[in-house]
Amino acid sequence: MAIQWFPGHMAKAKREVAEKLKLVDFVIELVDARAPLSSQNPMLHEILQEKPKMMVMMKKDLADPNVTKQWLEKTKKQGIPSIAIEANKKQDVQQVIHMAKELGKEKMEKLKAKGVRPRASRAMIIGIPNVGKSTLINRLANKKIAQTGDKPGVTKQQQWIKVKKEFELLDTPGILWPKFEEEEVGYRLAAIGTIKDQILPKEDVAAYVLDYMKNHYSSLLDERYGFSGYDDIMDAFETIGKKRGCLESGGHINFEKVSDIVLQDLRGGKLGHVSFELPE
Ligand SMILES: Nc1nc2c(ncn2[C@@H]2O[C@H](COP(=O)(O)OP(=O)(O)OP(=O)(O)O)[C@@H](O)[C@H]2O)c(=O)[nH]1
């Protein structure tokens, strides 16, 4: 696979997360509900060691609810407190707070048993780019938190956001890059918009989405574009192109425009609820 992050950046990100981890009692890992496995970073497991974590599957409004339910069952079986949310739903955010408070409480009780004076438990949010880290931090803080620390030359002290009396959150998230040794993982992440469109050719990503939907969500394909199957991917591009006015002079289809339409439809939820991976 041609995609490779610059190893220096990976090492720096890992170091930064490991530093911040020392400040917290537990971690809130964010993954994308449409691809909960591909949107994790296996490195987290290594640096977390014994630190407890809970998992929040973001963007559940775009994912297939039946598949999300299976993922939640799986992670809960693994002993990881997990929840799927839509960041704009207040009751979903309240449930995150409740879960975090419970996890923090366990940790505080352990400390209390060792004779440490009780204090608010502390957590940080970790996840890959674009998964929704800032959105969730702002929702938990109930206001917009400036991300000035990310700009070069701006030094910023770590700040704690008081979410509830018993629970505080670090105001900057930990960012870890996704890891893809398998080609399919790269396409899944590109489809959901985690990898920038410049990295994998968008026509290839759109073709991946159409093929995936043909095999798993043919009725959604039919609802949006009026076909549920095809023998040749070119036919699919042509049908969508004709329908949506992506014709160039001479009557040729503009494949780039068709790809933009497919990816925008998918990421904006217009293709319906689509999940790109199932638990084994
Ligand atoms: N549909 C949907 N969109 C969401 C949800 N949560 C976040 N988003 C959107 O996802 C996009 C990325 O969110 P951010 O909060 O900027 O993600 P981030 O992880 O902080 O991204 P980086 O700064 O790149 O690391 C934004 O357009 C959000 O509006 C959700 O639950 N549902």
Closest CA to 120 of 110, 111, 112, 108: 108
Mean pLDDT of 184-201: 87
113 and 46 housed in the same domain: yes
Tell me the C-alpha distance between 29 and 56, whole Å: 6
Tell me the C-alpha distance between 32 and 189, whole Å: 9
158 and 41 housed in the same domain: yes
164 and 210 housed in the same domain: no
168 and 123 housed in the same domain: yes
Question: Is 75 labelled as part of a ligand binding site?
Answer: no
Q: In the 8-state DSSP scheme, what is residue 273?
A: -
Q: Do the domain assignments include residue 156?
A: yes
* Sequence-distant (≥ 6) Cβ neighbours of residue 180 within 8 angstroms: 1, 3, 38, 186, 189
Residue 187, φ and ψ in degrees, nearest 5? -70, -40
pLDDT for the residue numbered 5: 61
Which protein residue has the closest C-alpha to ligand 1 atom 8?
132
Give me the DSSP letters along 170-239. Answer: ESS-EE-----SSHHHHHHHHHTTSS-TTTS-HHHHHHHHHHHHHHH-HHHHHHHHS-S--SSHHHHHHH
> Among the atoms of ligand 1, which is closest to the Cα of residue 87?
31
59 and 115 housed in the same domain: yes
User: Ligand 1: distance of its center to the CA of 39 in Å?
Assistant: 13
138 and 240 housed in the same domain: no
What are 83's strand-pairing partners? 56
Question: Is 131 labelled as part of a ligand binding site?
Answer: yes
Closest CA to 27 of 166, 121, 126: 126
pLDDT digits (tens, 9 = 90+) for 107-132: 888 888 999 888 899 999 999 989 99
With a Cβ cut-off of 6 Å, ligand 1 is lined by: 58-59, 61-62, 86-87, 127, 129-135, 175
**E-only strand ranges, the chain:** 26-32, 53-58, 82-84, 121-127, 160-164, 167-170, 174-175
pLDDT for the residue numbered 146: 59
User: Ligand 1: distance of its center to the CA of 125 in Å?
Assistant: 13
Confirm whether pTM is higher than 0.95: no
Mean pLDDT of 155-183: 84
Q: Do the domain assignments include residue 185?
A: no
Question: Is 107 labelled as part of a ligand binding site?
Answer: no
Question: Is 130 labelled as part of a ligand binding site?
Answer: yes
110: left (phi over 0), alpha (psi -120 to 50) or beta: alpha
72 and 162 housed in the same domain: yes
Q: Do the domain assignments include residue 279?
A: no
71 and 146 housed in the same domain: yes
**Do the Cβ atoms of 257 and 246 come closer than 8 Å?**
yes
Q: Do the domain assignments include residue 190?
A: no
Largest separation between any pair of C-alpha atoms in the chain: 80
Question: Is 257 labelled as part of a ligand binding site?
Answer: no
Domain boundary among 132, 158, 175: 175
pLDDT for the residue numbered 236: 97
> Among the atoms of ligand 1, which is closest to the Cα of residue 135?
15
Tell me the C-alpha distance between 102 and 51, whole Å: 15
Q: Residue 228: which domain range?
A: 201-267
User: Ligand 1: distance of its center to the CA of 84 in Å?
Assistant: 14
Of 57, 61, 68, 135, the one to substitute when testing ligand 1's pocket (max ligand atoms within 8 A of C-beta) is 135
257 and 209 housed in the same domain: yes
Of 40, 60, 130, 171, the one to substitute when testing ligand 1's pocket (max ligand atoms within 8 A of C-beta) is 130
143 and 220 housed in the same domain: no
Q: Do the domain assignments include residue 53?
A: yes
- Number of domains the chain is built from: 2
pLDDT at 179 over 80: no
Question: Is 20 labelled as part of a ligand binding site?
Answer: no
> Among the atoms of ligand 1, which is closest to the Cα of residue 137?
15
Domain boundary among 160, 175, 190: 175
pLDDT digits (tens, 9 = 90+) for 204-225: 999 999 999 999 999 999 999 9
What is the CATH classification number for the domain harbouring 79? 3.40.50.300
The 3-state DSSP class for residue 255 equals: helix
69 and 163 housed in the same domain: yes
pLDDT at 156 over 70: no
Q: Do the domain assignments include residue 231?
A: yes
Mean pLDDT of 145-155: 52
40 and 157 housed in the same domain: yes
What are 121's strand-pairing partners? 167
Dihedral over alpha carbons 129, 131, 133, 136 (to 10 degrees): 170
Percent of the chain with pLDDT over 70: 93
Closest CA to 173 of 219, 132, 126, 224: 126
Q: Do the domain assignments include residue 67?
A: yes
What is the CATH classification number for the domain harbouring 248? 1.10.1580.10
